[in-house]
Amino acid sequence: MSVTVGRGLVVELIRESAMLKKAYKILECDQEVQSLLRMSNVMAVNRLMYNDHGVVHARIVSGSALKIFELLVEYGVTPSSIVNGITESLEEAKLIVLIGAYLHDVGNAIHRSNHNIHGCILSKPIIDRILLELVDRSKVVPLRQEILHVIYSHDESVKCLSVEAGCVKIADGTDMAEGRARIPYKLGKMDIHAVSALSIKKIEIERGETKPVRIKVFMKDNAGIFQIERVLMEKILTSALEKYVEVVAYIDGRELKSFG
């Protein structure tokens, strides 16, 4: 069954986990986290005229990442944190995905350049603080390092070394419906970036027929292909999960092109 990528998806996907619900509540209520996300938009949106990198983006990416993660696990992919003995449960692996996805863009509060590195520096004490409320102290450092890897690896130039990081990286590229596309464009300037961003109407994620994850991009015209090729596919190709993911573009319900 398809799910629509949006800010409410994360709440649906954590409903049955007390640990994940507590983690999400902490993130949503933490003054430092929320202030960093607000400052990320001051830098990215107000000063650089980029697209949203704040709390709405954090929520959207969190839900999308958890859905991709669930589909991979159902298919038989074992989370890297379990393979390497960092965690012992799927719930803790999901915790890595959730916190990493929510915090992945806080580095924009310093500058867009090297924001994945800034994000690791800013997030370290926050992650420590959150994990101490959720897991045994002995697990804090290993889990924190996995989460920092998620944050660092979400940039297109960095190859992901874990399934958890790959899920977040791909999810970052799925937040592009209704003008929320990842390629920046100057406000009021109708160039290919703007036209392409505004052409994408909805993103859905479902189990594929030949691959475990299918991302469906619904567009009003084929200008949206630009966003798929320049953003989503570039993230998929450095996620280390490319063999598990396919992308299909649609116009008026008709399949236009498939990727992967």
Confidence of residue 163 (pLDDT cuts 50, 70, 90): very high
Q: What is the pLDDT of residue 188?
A: 52
Q: Is the pLDDT of residue 196 over 80?
A: no
Q: Which two tokens stand for residue 248?
A: 């299909």
Reported as half-sphere exposure (CB side, CA atoms, 13 A), residue 134 has a value of 29
Least confident of 15-19, 50-54, 97-101: 50-54
pLDDT tens-digit series, residues 56-82: 999 999 999 999 999 999 999 999 999
Helices marked H in 191-249 — which ranges? 192-199, 225-227, 233-237
Residue-averaged pLDDT of the chain: 93
d(CA 50, CA 3): 27
Q: From the CB of residue 68, how many other CB atoms can be counted at a distance below 10 Å?
A: 27
Q: What is the pLDDT of residue 260?
A: 81
pLDDT tens-digit series, residues 147-160: 999 999 999 999 99
pLDDT tens-digit series, residues 244-253: 999 999 998 8
Q: From the CB of residue 128, how many other CB atoms can be counted at a distance below 10 Å?
A: 13
Question: Which residue type, as a one-letter code, is found at position 111?
Answer: H
When pLDDT is averaged across residues 84-91 and rounded to a whole number, the result is: 96
Residue reference for tokens 């450095």: 238
CA 21 → CA 15, 18, 24, 74, distances in Å? Answer: 7, 5, 5, 21
d(CA 206, CA 217): 11
CA angle in degrees (0–180, nearest 5) for 53-163-201? 40
pTM of the model: 0.95
Instruction: Please give the DSSP secondary-structure letter assigned to residue 85.
Output: T
Residue reference for tokens 């001051």: 42
When pLDDT is averaged across residues 6-21 and rounded to a whole number, the result is: 98
Q: What is the pLDDT of residue 160?
A: 98
| Strand-by-strand arrangement of the 200-206 sheet | 3-4, 200-206, 213-219, 245-251, 254-259
Handedness of CA 159, 212, 55, 130 (dihedral sign): negative
Question: Are 200 and 176 a contacting pair, CB within 8 Å?
Answer: yes
Q: What is the pLDDT of residue 212?
A: 98
- For residue 252, list its beta bridge partners: none
d(CA 66, CA 100): 11
Question: Are 164 and 214 a contacting pair, CB within 8 Å?
Answer: no
Question: Are 88 and 143 a contacting pair, CB within 8 Å?
Answer: no
Q: Is the pLDDT of residue 189 over 70?
A: no
Residue 8 backbone dihedrals phi, psi, to 5 degrees = -90, -10
Percentage above 90 pLDDT, the chain = 82
Q: What is the pLDDT of residue 76?
A: 98
Q: What is the pLDDT of residue 193?
A: 60
Q: What is the largest CA-CA distance in the chain?
A: 53
Q: Which of 206, 186, 211, 183 is nearest to 196 (CA)?
A: 183
Q: What is the pLDDT of residue 191?
A: 62
CA 99 → CA 124, 148, 203, distances in Å? Answer: 11, 10, 22
Q: Is the pLDDT of residue 182 over 80?
A: no
Q: Which two tokens stand for residue 246?
A: 């396919």
The number of residues making up the chain comes to 260
